Structures are given as C-alpha cells and as structure tokens.
Structure 1
C-alpha cells in the first residue's frame, strides 16, 4: 500500500538521523502521535509537511515515493544538478511516444510542457505549480505526491493518467481528454473542468465541494467515497454514472440529463441517506424510467422532472 510505503520511508529517514518520533514532531510542530500514525501507515502528511520533512532529512521529495530501496549513503545528499526554484524551461524536447520520462523529485514550477509528447511519464514528488501542459499528450502518465497547483491542462491528452495524493488546487482542465483517468485523494479546491467529456473517469476518496464542472458530459464516470455536497451539475449530461457511497447533500441537477444512474448508499439505507437524497434539486431534469424509479422510491422531489422514453 502506498501510504504504508511512505510511512516506512519516513521511519527509515528518521532513524538514520538518530531522531525520536517526539524530536521529529517538535521540529514540524505536530504531535508525536501524528508521526507514529504516518510510520504505521494509518495516515499521510500533506504536501507542505512532506516538503518540510524533505528539508529535515536532507532528501528530495522523490525519496518518499521511490519504491526501490534507497541506499543509506544517499540520505543527506543533495542533488547537484537540480533546477533552481522558478526555473522556466524554454524548450523541452518531444520524446518518442514509447519512451518513459521520469521527472520525479524535480523542481519545475511554471515550466513549459505545452505541446510535448511524453507518454508514461512519472511526476512523483515534483514541484509543478503553475506549469503549462496545454495540448500535451501525457497518455499513461502518473502524477503522485506532487504540487500541481494552478497547472494548465488545456486540451491535454490525459488518457489513462493517474493523479494520486496530489495538490491540484486551482488547476484547469478546459477541453482536456479525460479517458480512464483517475483522481484519488487529491486537493481539488478550485479545480475547473469545462467543455469536455469525462469517459470512464474515476474519482476515489475525493472532496469535490470546491471543484467546478461546466458544460461537461459524464460517461461511465464513477464517484466513490466522494464528498459532493453543494455541487452544481446544472445543465450537464450523466450517462451510466455511479455515485458509490458518495455524499450528494444539496447537489443540484437543474436541467441536467440523467440516464442509467446508480446510487449506492454507504453500508445501508439509513434515515441520514434518505434525508440527503431529499435535498437534491432535479428541477427541469430529464431522466430514464429506472433512474426515476430509484429516486422516487427514496423520496426525492421529482415534481418537475421529465421522463425520457427512448
């Protein structure tokens, strides 16, 4: 499990430095119990804390996500050729589509990746804040434990990409290609998805209250263990979408189209779940008969809904 592996890395580096959990906790102003939870794989530090840990241990951010054992002699070493903060890359070569590119542990804020072809690239523990990936082809790439705040993914091909434990706050996905793309445990505050179709996309353990969706088509999308409270999906299309153990309190689907939608309650149908369904607004929505029957059975207000007969 990724969280456990990261915890092991923290414990290994702490012991190499000859520090106790209490001493490490004091340096980053948290409780020793929190450090213990990290090392046992019960929780994970956020991006800012990871940066602080890297400073204390004298390693780069890639150390926490490198699954290959790092030699003990490398602890405390400094990358000699690491890019300086704020470096702007004027030209990045276009790589062959079958070659893997590794940008893990890189310091590349506000970098220009526009138009590149970089299939199966890895961005683990990378600083990418404000970087421009517009019209790039990143098919099969992995973004993990990185800072990608305010990144621009305009018309970017993100087919088969994974975004995991990532800070994506205020990133933009306008007209992006999202096919079998997965978002898991990311900070998506202020992220904008607009003018695109999400196909077989997965949102796992995501808080999406502060995420914006405009003019989107959701096709075979799965929301699992997500927080969608207060989300606005007005006027958008949903086909074969699953809301699996997801909080839909106060969500609006005004004038939206819903076909073959699955709602899976957490553990069991409780009064709390019924109450949350009743808060959803479907005014002016269109839906198929089966979706209508499910929602009606749970007490949803469907007074202004139109049935789709074909």
Structure 2
C-alpha cells in the first residue's frame, strides 16, 4: 500500500479530533510538526508532533500499512505493559484505535540512538552504549522473572533448519557457503551454552538502535513488539548486533567476539543484571549476527544502499566472529 506523503499525513490528522475528544482536549490551537515517516510499497507510517496552545506535546502515530490488527494489538499491549513497569523509561501511551492503527502518546524529547552513534566520537560512543545499557537494565529489572536454566537447543534447532534449507537451495542467502560454515561453527558449540543459568525478563521485542531515543538526561524506549518472558540475551543481542553491523570496525573486534572490547565493557557497565559471559548473551549475539545475514536480500540487485552497507559490514565481521 503506497500512499503519497500528503495523503499519509492527512490520514493521520483525520484521526486527531477523535483522540482529542477522548483525551478531553480542545482541537483548537494545536501546531502540527511531522517527525518521521516511512512510505514505500510495504510500509506506510507517519509520526506527527502535536503541540498544544499551553505547550503540551504529544505524538500522533498512524500505521497505514501493513494492515495487521492482531500484530498492532500486541504492540499496543506490549507498550502498555512496559509503560506500567518502567514509566521513567517509556513514554505514556494515552490512547489508541485498533481499527485505524493509530495511537497518541506523550512526546519524548530525544534523538534516535542510531543517529547519535553515527555522529559520536569514540568516547561519546562508549558513553551512549553505557547509557543504553543502563536503560535496558532498568527495563529488565522492572519485570524481572528471576533466574532460569538456559536452553540453547530451541535456538540452535531453528538455526540447524535454516542451514539445511540453505544447503538444499530452498532458502537463498548471500555468500551461502560462508553462511553455512559460520552456522556450523556455532552449532558445534552447543555444549558451551547448555546447563547454565541466565535471567529472564519481558522482552522489548524489537530493540534496534532506532527504537531508543536519547535525551539530555534520560533515554526512552519506543515501538515495543514483545512482552514475553525470555532470556535477557534476546534484547541485548538485538541492540548490540545492530550497533556492530552499522558502526563497528572489524579490526577492533577481538577474534571470537562480536563487538569491540571497549564497547562491551561500556555497555555492561550500564547493564548490570548479567555480564558478557551470560550464556544467553554469548549464544544470541552470534545467532543474531546470522539472523541479520539470512534476513538480508540474497542478490545484489535486490538490495538497497542501506542493506548493501549492512551486508558489507557483516561480511567483514564474520571472520572475526566465526573464524
């Protein structure tokens, strides 16, 4: 569903009077400022900052495509759960309409972590990773499920099936020989991750760098997609692998590791619930790198510039991680 930019914005603003009425707000005197949008054949999403006459700042978010009410309902539920557990790190979701996939939440002042890291020098990057770790530590502690025995067999069973599909030609990936060799290296290490304890907490579910907003004094998490009680390594791996694929220099990654040593030290200075030796962290960092690999288009002509850059960086990191 591809919409013209003005039509997408208009579709969002059409929902505003109903939300204003639900929230007991007048519709007069509000300033409209588009914040972000995505408008392509598969996604049509717009975020609009609404500033009231008395300075109240809200965000109106409209998802025109994909139309998936069940997934949208889960996302709203996940946001509500995170907001209840961790209000100091999650902007308040004030109202939503499942039928139009539109919501209103408090405006969170900040810039996407991805942009902050792109512009930061080495010392600033470490500070940003430390702050991101502290935010995630707070989120996980707010809903902590306690220790549990980590069972890597489920993750590795899925990886084994992916590898078999690639070998059989049922699933195309870029550099299939290298991918299968890397997957086999990780599969052979199953015993290293078994029979150890990790911590479980409700997951963010989609914790890439664009879903953390960095303000002067705090970080905000947005666009929750999870809520299930899972090992904490899932969120950690999603965030750190996204950072590594975008910004890590392969020459600075120790052999056998996924991110530079100073990045790891900084992140886990902020995130104290578990350390880098936690079995879910060690396995899921490496598994997430492979998931990034198989998730990218297999053929050059199908990749956009951003996807091509991610694959190029990933392939540079792979020998350091998997040998």
Q: Same fold (TM over 0.5)?
A: no
Bigger radius of gyration, 1 or 2? Answer: 1
Q: Hey, which of these two has a bigger chunk of helix by percent?
A: 2
